[in-house]
Amino acid sequence: MDQKRKNNLKKKIFIKTFGCQMNEYDSNRILDITKKINYFPTKKKAEADCYIINTCHIREKATEKVFHDVGRVKKEYKNKKKPILIITGCVAQAEGDLILKKDNYVDAVIGPQSYQSINKIIRDIENKKTQHNITNFETVKKFDELKLINNNNSKVSSFLTIQEGCDKFCKFCVVPYTRGSEYSRNFEDVLNEADELISKGTREIILLGQNVNAYNDKNNKRLSDIIYSLQKKKDLLRIRYYTSHPKDMTKDLIEAHKECSKLMPLLHLPVQSGSDKILKEMNRKHNIKEYLKTINILKEKNSRIEFASDFIIAYPGEKQEDFNQTYNLMEKVKFINSYSFIFSPRPGTPASDMKRVDEKLAKKRLIIFQKLAENIKMNYKKKLVNKIAKVLFENKMTKEKDKYFGRDEYQNPVIVCSKKNITGQEKKVLIKKFSQNTIYGELISSDNFLAA
């Protein structure tokens, strides 16, 4: 078959995604791009002509995991035609050379700021079968090209990346090295993409960035400007943003939490530690007094607001009293959701050479902390029972008849029964009971409801 005919054949592409929401956004955008060369998404990984592993480098064993996954692909395709195998994401950026050198089954590594050129790379691989290492930081070019390609990933709740990269250089973190320096997309481009998503059915937009509240485009538009503009969009019901840095919680953004009814009353504001000494060691650029002040002002502006946070336990140099301060902060703020991990040394970061806390002690501290976090979460959920929550329904559950899945304003997963299709609608729900991860309720504003 001649090349032109071959290029016109429909092919299948599968992406396995690890890491943060930005990686999810990127995976979806890669699928938008590859449609242009007739590669269409499949959920069946064993039938893919092109197999992509979109990787995360944030914690330990990330590179080993990639080799593990490559091994799995090899096994899966042992008796079939080899797929084009591409590693994208933050491990590709940080360890691209090593990956290509160690395993020639991998056809290409592409960093998070260069995936706009994936079609050319796939075509090159189809034709010449050479290995590619594309890890330039081409953020501006990437977004300039992406805006020309429709975002076909509209769901009831959709991600929209508005900012990338980081200039803060916390000593433990790989992000400044894998995603490059801070870059804010053009304000108008962001709103155009939002319009596109809303016109296709999106009712909630989650604005994304490694430091989303550092957003500042070339005309000095800030995150609050985007929020105020989205507030005016008729068919949009909800706005969220993450992840934010405490230092970038500016007055205008705090004010938006009072003024914008569509901005959800849950703020993910990673603190990392409750000890000023450790925060300084981490190069976090904020202290606990400032952090608590921000939280208090936000509460004054909007009394319904609740907080979620990230914690690193057993950072190098963490003494018992530092850990106690983190524990006390958790007790004081009562974060309704938290993500806590033991410090993981990342290659190339300043903290990677520092003396680590004894492993057993680190694990003990993590268990103690997570127990407290879980108790706080459960007590919070208990208080929700018999109360009314506003839930945006995202989809009908596939395995259970007449059950719909949605999230309340605090992003808690909620399940109800309904004979009517309520996908995409915001409904009032009476909360009846909860499990560790889910809340069950009854619709109260529908003329056709059943008990969950």
Place of tokens 């939490």: 257
Q: How far is the CB of 351 from ligand SF4 (least distance, A)?
A: 11
Q: How far is the CB of 180 from ligand SAM (least distance, A)?
A: 14
Q: Does 312 bind ligand SAM (CB under 6 A)?
A: yes
Adjacency order of strands within the sheet including 50-55: 39-41, 11-17, 50-55, 84-89, 108-110, 132-134
Q: Based on CB atoms, which residue is closest to ligand F3S, 93 or 302? A: 93
Q: Which does 223 bind (CB under 5 to 8 A by kind): ligand SAM, ligand SF4, ligand F3S, none?
A: none
Q: Based on CB atoms, which residue is closest to ligand SF4, 210 or 302? A: 210
Q: Does 339 bind ligand SF4 (CB under 6 A)?
A: no
Q: Sign of the C-alpha dihedral, residues 444, 302, 268, 139? A: positive
Let me know how long the chain is. 452
Q: Which stretch binds ligand SAM (CB under 6 A): 142-150, 170-178, 318-326, 330-338?
A: 170-178
Q: Which stretch binds ligand F3S (CB under 6 A): 15-23, 211-219, 299-307, 369-377?
A: 15-23
Site residues (CB under 6 A) for ligand SAM, limited to 190-229: 210-211
CB under 8 Å to 289, separation ≥6 — which residues?
none
CB under 8 Å to 381, separation ≥6 — which residues?
412, 434, 439
Q: Which does 90 bind (CB under 5 to 8 A by kind): ligand F3S, ligand SAM, ligand SF4, none?
A: ligand F3S
Q: Based on CB atoms, which residue is closest to ligand SAM, 248 or 426? A: 248
Q: Does 344 bind ligand SAM (CB under 6 A)?
A: yes
Using CB under 6 A, which of 178, 202, 418, 423 touches ligand F3S? 178
The whole-angstrom separation of Cα 266 and Cα 244 is 12
Site residues (CB under 6 A) for ligand SF4, limited to 168-207: 168-170, 173, 175-176
Q: Does 409 bind ligand SAM (CB under 6 A)?
A: no
**CA 247-26-109 angle, 5° bins:** 110
Q: Does 272 bind ligand SAM (CB under 6 A)?
A: yes
**CA 33-36-39 angle, 5° bins:** 85
Q: Which does 56 bind (CB under 5 to 8 A by kind): ligand SAM, ligand SF4, ligand F3S, none?
A: ligand F3S
Using CB under 6 A, which of 114, 151, 210, 344 touches ligand SF4? 210
The whole-angstrom separation of Cα 399 and Cα 391 is 21
Q: Does 173 bind ligand SAM (CB under 6 A)?
A: yes
Q: How far is the CB of 26 from ligand F3S (least distance, A)?
A: 8
Q: Does 175 bind ligand F3S (CB under 6 A)?
A: yes
Q: Does 208 bind ligand F3S (CB under 6 A)?
A: no
Q: Does 23 bind ligand F3S (CB under 6 A)?
A: yes
Q: Does 84 bind ligand F3S (CB under 6 A)?
A: no
Q: Does 18 bind ligand SAM (CB under 6 A)?
A: no
Q: Does 19 bind ligand F3S (CB under 6 A)?
A: yes
Q: Which of 51, 144, 169 is nearest to 105 (CA)?
A: 51
Is residue 246 within 8 A of residue 271, CB to CB? The reply is yes
Using CB under 6 A, which of 341, 364, 432, 445 touches ligand SAM? 341
What track of x and - describes contact with ligand SF4 for positions 393 through 432 (by CB under 6 A)?
----------------------------------------
Place of tokens 């069946």: 44
Q: Which stretch binds ligand F3S (CB under 6 A): 52-60, 183-191, 211-219, 316-324?
A: 52-60
- Given the rule CB under 6 A, which residues bind ligand SAM? 20, 58-59, 172-173, 175, 210-211, 243, 245, 270, 272, 310, 312, 341, 343-344, 346
- Residues near ligand F3S (CB under 6 A) are 19-20, 22-23, 56-58, 89-90, 174-175, 178-179, 210
* Residues at the interface with ligand SF4 (CB under 6 A): 166, 168-170, 173, 175-176, 210-211, 245
